[in-house]
Each structure stands twice: as structure tokens, then as C-alpha cells.
Structure 1
Amino acid sequence: MIDVAREADVSAMTVSNVINGRPGVSADTRARVLAAVSKLGYQMNLAARHLRSGRTGAVGLIVPDLDGMYYAQLADRLARSLERHGQHLALVRTGASRERELEAVSVGRLRMYEGAVISLLQVEAADLERLSFDTPAVFIGERPVPETVDHVMMDNVGGALLATRHLLSTGSRRIAIIGGSDDDRVRDMSTLRTRGYRQAHAELGVEVDEGLVLRIDSFTPKGGYQALTRLRESGVPFDGVFTLTDAAALGVLRALADVGLRVPGDVQVIGFDNGTETDFLTPRLSSVEPGNDVMAETVLDLLQRRMGLAGAGEDGEPRTHTMVPARLALRESTR
């Protein structure tokens, strides 16, 4: 840094202010410093910077798994945004184990990060109420959380309603739901999206054949393929498929192709998540866009604000619970 200061004919403090994006530096001086940085090939020593400041620069992402497309793509979105702030993402996979989820959100573990983005499947709100979150944290997902933490959710019910309503409005009357669940004891993605599926049928006065509500072993291409195969073997007729994830929809499309059923001519198919792979399938997959980019931006905006306030010792702001609206991304697999 001293070499940069000498090259730009400014103080080391001015160089520090420019590198860290602080205000109070003129445009000419900033340009001179950046030119010196470029000429000398200066690179910030993040480890030393974090050691001096007492901050790690790490934001934890605590999720059930990383083999599914949704969490992998969320991690990529968050990592790219954090890099622009000079921070990095630390991934924690819990395997949807209650014990590992509780360990991941324990005070000792969370203090390893400046902030955390957390998705839990097994831990209940009552468990979280007994924990003290002195590390800024934003929760995502469907599970209930205490009012004392920030929570960003996608509109699972509304997204499923849009998908099913579209299939019904374009002629399908016997719509299978792959991954459906009516278990009122839990509030998760499956139950919420099934609620939207049923609501759309009720709105249009179309009865649901319970033989079309299929549970799934895993929300993977293999799980979708196996569920669609079971449906065909059952003999229950269907002319539309709402698959609760795009990953499972990949298997559904393959299973339909294997038996010569045309999409969307014979069977319409729509997924959920609008992942980056949807445009590269045959046919291109229609999907529910749950606001992926908006969710990532909302999560990071909240987290950055909390981390800034926590650093200043002033985080007394009320917590927010935000639901991001969904929309349809219609492609070739629907009419």
C-alpha cells in the first residue's frame, strides 16, 4: 500500500479509503490511486485486513443439500454478489438432519461468520426461540421462524396456483402433481404447493382425482422419472403434469418421451424454480419463476444492513418477513 501511495503521490490513508470505497476522496485522486494500483499490480491482503478489523469476511450459507439445482444456483447468486463487497461465501450442508441443523445455527458456529443465510427443514420455530442470534442472520424457506429474525420466502402457494391455473385454462383437466403432499402436520414446500394446486382446481370447479396426487422419493430427475412411471402403470389417465421442482421435471420429460407421449400435444408439463437449465431441455420447460434474483438481492440487502448495524452496535431495527411474488415463465412444454 505504501508503494501505491508513493506512486500516486498521496497518503497511505487515502489509498486505504479508495480501496475500501470510502467517501471523501476526489474523483481525480481516486483515478490516480486506481491507476497506481493497476500499474503496480497491487492486491489487497484480505486475510490481513480481516485480522486487523476482527472480521472474517465470510457469510455462511446453511442449506439442506447442494446436489439439487435450486440451492446450487442460489449459492452462485449469493457468492457473486458477496464478491463485489469483498466477502466470500462459506457453504454448510446439513443433510436435512435435525442435529446437524441445530449445530449449524448454534451460537459458537454462527460466530464464525459475519452473517448467515439459513434454510432449515427439521428445526422448529420453538427451537430457534431458545437460541440467541447475535450474528446477523436471514432465514429463507417455508418453515416458520420466530418474529425476532428476518425471513425471506417465495410464494409457494401463489406459484403453484399460477401453474395449475395455466394448465387448466389451456385445456388440461386431469393434472398430476408430482411431489404432492397434504400432510397438515408440516408446513413445507410440498404441502404449500399442493395447496395452490388444489386451490386452482376449486376456483375453476374441476374435481381433483386423488390418484393424480403422487408423493416422490426425491426431488431429482430419478425421482420424477419413477413417479411418472408409477402413474402410467397405475392406469390413471392424465393430460397435464405439475412437477414441484424443475429437477424432477427432467425425469418426467424423459419418462414421457420413453413411451412416445408428446409434450405438450399429449401431456402438458410445468415445473417450479425456473432454473438455468430450463431453456436447454427438449422441449424447453415452462416453469414457475419464484423471483430467484429478487430473493437473492433481498436476502443480501437485509444481511448487509444487519451486518453494518451490528458492527456499529446499533441493530435495533424491527425484523422483516418478506414474501417475493412468483410469475410464470412459459416455454414449449405447455400450450
Structure 2
Amino acid sequence: MRVSLKDVAERTGVSIKTVSNVVNNYPHVTPALRARVQQAIDELGYRPNLTARHLRKGRTGIIALAVPELGNPYFAELAGAVVDAAAEHDFTVLLDHTRGDREQELLVSQGFRARVIDGLILSPLELEDDDLRGRADDVPLVLLGEREYDLPFDHIAIDNVAAARTAVRHLLDRGRTRIAYLGARTDSANRPAHLRLDGWRTELTAAGLPAPDDLIVPVGGWDRHHGAQAMARLLDAGVRPDAVFAYNDLIAIGALRVLHERGLRVPWDVAVVGFDDIAEGRFGAVSLTTISPDKQAIARLAVTSLLHSLSGRQDSEGRELTADYRLMERESTLGRH
């Protein structure tokens, strides 16, 4: 039999309301009484009925998180942080994997699961403002990712241009002057690859250095083999950078492999900086210097923004909320000591 508030109240000789106040951590309970009720809760094994609690508020207690690729370690780590942040508010997270496909992102954003979720956290790759501006679904929406939006939804990101400048400045401070950028894309200019490219170019220009096109390498995707292909293409063209700034850690890891195969020493011949601070980058033969977005802060901001909307306090203009980042300096730029 499930233990109820009434069972705990009978064990301690107090009212059900008092037990509820303890369970919900209301402040107006004396320490002695709180300790007595908590002891009964522990002894009886009482667990709050979260489903009933949410239903009383007209909610399901479920929020959805839709990301492009759960196989990408960055999104996997971010999803874990969102699950943890949601659990602090007694919400369960339903994960969606869009593969960065526009039709799937549209389907998710238009509320095909609206009956079972209270809100949606979406990290789109292909959707444009107009796709979301005409959204008919009234389920609260929070956007993640480094794209720029002009929409009435909260958007959480880091400052990609500033973060890229930090990465390039670190390489400049290590004496590097021919810094390649691996990860350019030819599609819409508000994508994060372009923002990071802007940061690369801006910092080189500020240092009085050229930002030649032959040091900008396009990629067809965001995985390790795309980074390996880009690095090989650069070297095969006879271009010898003394440093590489990669769009993400997976591209950087692919580049590290090719540099090793070509007999180039990291960081002495070519220094490498990535972006995302995934766990894999810390444990390679050469640990990876990288920009580390605060994934826990991104997750907390996303969940609290969604709860803000659920409470009816959403700003009709939408808010731009920025999480912090830091540079993690490791062997791919510092060498081994």
C-alpha cells in the first residue's frame, strides 16, 4: 500500500496540513516538529505523489527537450544537465532527437506531443524565424543554441563571437600567427559556425594579422571524420597553419588524428583549440584545449525559463539569456610539462 500524508500525520499526531508543510519545505514549522515529521516520513518510506501534484495544477509534469543529435557528446551532456535541472523542480524530461532535419524540427515545434508535455526546450539547426513565428501550438517554448532569433520566445546561448575571440587570443598569446578555422558553412549567416568564424576573423584583425580565405576550411558536418577530412584537405592544398581553431571538439579531434598521421607534433608544429569541452577531449593522447560553455547554467536557465512561461510570466518580446563560458587550457596548446 502506498504511504499517504494521512499515514504520516497519524504516526506523528499532527494534521495532514502540517505534514504537507514539511514535505513542501514551508518555513513556518518549528525545527523540532519538522524533525519529528521527517523521521516519520523516513520510517514509513513516504514519497510525494508527483503525478497528482502536477495534475492539481493542470500539468503533466513532463517537459520535452529536442536536440539535433544525441550521439553528439555535447548534446548528450547537455541533455543530462537538463534532466538534472528539471528534476529539481519535480519535472520529467522527454527527449526528442531531430537529426537536424527541418521537417522533424517543424513537427516538434508545432506541438505534435502537446497533449503530453507542459513545455518544450528546442535546439534547432534548420528552422528560421518565420517557421517559429507562425507557431500555432500554445505549449511554452524555450530555444537553445547559438543561432540569432527575433522571436517572442526566451533564447539561451553563450556569446559565440566573444568565445571564439577568446580561443584565438589564446593562440596568439602562444605566438601563433597562421591560425586556420575548421568548420565554415555555406548556409545561413546566423548559424553558430558563422558566429565563431566572425570571432576568429575579428580577433585576427584586431591583432593586425590577415584572415586569408585559404585558412578557412568548410565542413560538411560536425563529426570527427568531417574534421579529419577538413584537416587533410588543408594540408593537401599545401597550406601549413601553425594553429587550428575548430568549430567544435569533434572536428578538433578529427584534426588531431590527421596531424598525428602526417607527423606533425601538437602543439609544437600545430596547436589546436576546440569548442564544447566534451569529456572525450580530456582523455585523448593529447588533451584538448577548448572553449567550455557552462552546460549546467544553460540547462538551469532553460528549465527556469520554461517554468517562468508556465506561470504566465513570459515576456511577450522574448528574452535573450546568456550563459557563461571559459577557456580550458590543455596539452593541445600548452604541451606536456
Task: Confirm or deny a common fold (TM above 0.5).
Answer: yes
Aligned-pair distance for 1:34? 1.7
Q: Deviations over 1:25-58 (max 9, x none)?
A: 3332222222111111222333344444432111
Partner Cα distance (1:179, 1:226) in 2: 11
Deviation, 1:210, is 1.9
Shift of 1:231: 2.0
* In the alignment, structure 1 residue 149 sits paired with structure 2 residue 153: yes
Aligned residues between the structures: 330
Aligned to 2:30: 26
Q: Secondary structure at the match of 2:332?
A: coil
User: Counterpart in 2 of 1:230?
Assistant: 233
How far apart in 2 are the matches of 1:317 and 1:104?
21
Unaligned runs of 5+ in 1: none
Partner residue, 2:302: 299
Residue in 2 that maps onto 1:251:
254
Q: Residue 295 of structure 1 contacts residue 324 of structure 1 at CA under 8 Å; is this kept in 2?
A: yes
The verdict on how the C-alpha distance between 1:72 and 1:41 changes in structure 2, with shifts beyond 3 A counting, is same
1:285 aligns with 2:284: no
Q: Does 1:98 align with 2:102?
A: yes
Question: CA shift at 1:318, angstroms?
Answer: 5.7
Name the aligned partner's letter for residue 171 of structure 1: G
Percent of pairs identical after alignment? 37
Residues in 2 aligned to 1:180 and 1:12: alpha-carbon distance in whole angstroms: 61
Judge conservation of contact 1:246–1:272 (CA < 8 Å) in 2: yes
**Quick one: which amino acid aligns to residue 119 of structure 1?**
S
Once the two structures are TM-superposed, the CA of residue 143 in structure 1 deviates from its matched residue by 2.9
Within 5 A, what are the aligned runs for 1:186-225?
186-225=189-228
The 1-side partners of 2:226 and 2:94 are apart by 29
Cα offset, 1:317, TM superposition = 6.9
Shift of 1:304: 2.6
Is 1:323 matched with 2:322?
yes
Secondary structure, aligned partner of 1:179: strand
Whether the 8 Å contact between 2:129 and 2:151 is mirrored in structure 1 is no
TM-score with structure 1 length normalisation? Answer: 0.90
Number of the residue aligned with 2:81: 77
Q: Does 1:166 align with 2:166?
A: no
Residue of 140, 143, 148 corresponding to 2:144: 140
1:91-110: CA deviation from partner (whole Å, max 9, x where unpaired): 11112122211111114534
Q: CA deviation at 1:169?
A: 2.7
For residues 56 and 20 of structure 2, what CA distance do their matches in structure 1 show? Answer: 13
RMSD value over aligned CA atoms?
2.2
Normalising by structure 2, we get a TM-score of 0.89
Contact 2:167 2:245 in 1 (8 A): yes
